[in-house]
Amino acid sequence: MPKRFLPQQGPAAIAPHIEIMEISKATQEDIPGLCELLGFLFAQEAEFQPDLSMQIAGLREIIDFPERGQILVLHEGTSLLGMINLLYTVSTALGGRVILLEDMVVHPDHRRRGAGSKLLQAAIDFAKSVGCRRITLLTDQTNKSAQRFYKRFGFTISKMVPMRLP
């Protein structure tokens, strides 16, 4: 698969100016920008707090081992506008690869102009291209705007309850 690719279709294809945004697979050089984006995300999420060293370690665990998953990034020129993290696992129920979608975040200065839609559509296209049979994600119960955003792409709320240790 080429490093850079574009989503095929869907709600992302909404405005001409969005075409200058480019989606690619994250590399080591993206880590500082990714940490900034994760800082925005974890500052707002109820169960997490930003921690730079943890974020760097976690990002390396994915970027250095592409068999574990794929981080897609959205650039506009040299600016990193957004990211999405797609982690592979296997479902015995579905008999194959499924994806856990994490770390969907767009820089606060660039929201509500289609960047998130473009990233999510690219993630869905990518998941299909690698034979993924389901995408699962977690979102804060109070994050109604994110839930509306995901629902526009066909995601539904699961009847299952997430549990954690610790």
Residue whose CB is nearest to ligand COA in the complex, by number = 116
Verify binding: residue 111, ligand COA, rule CB under 6 A: yes
Check binding of 97 to ligand COA (CB under 6 A).
no
Instruction: Check binding of 13 to ligand COA (CB under 6 A).
Output: no
Q: Does 99 bind ligand COA (CB under 6 A)?
A: no
**Residue 125: other Cβ atoms inside 10 A:** 18
Tally the residues of the chain.
Answer: 166
CA angle 162, 111, 123 (to 5 degrees): 55
Q: Within the chain, how many helices (H) and strands (E) appear?
A: 4, 5
Q: Which two tokens stand for residue 80?
A: 């990193």
Selected binder of ligand COA within 6, 13, 41, 100 (CB under 6 A): 41
Q: In terms of CB distance, is 79 or 96 closer to ligand COA?
A: 79
Binder among 98, 115, 122, 123 for ligand COA (CB under 6 A): 115
The answer to whether residue 121 forms part of the interface with ligand COA (CB under 6 A) is no
3-state secondary structure of 10: coil
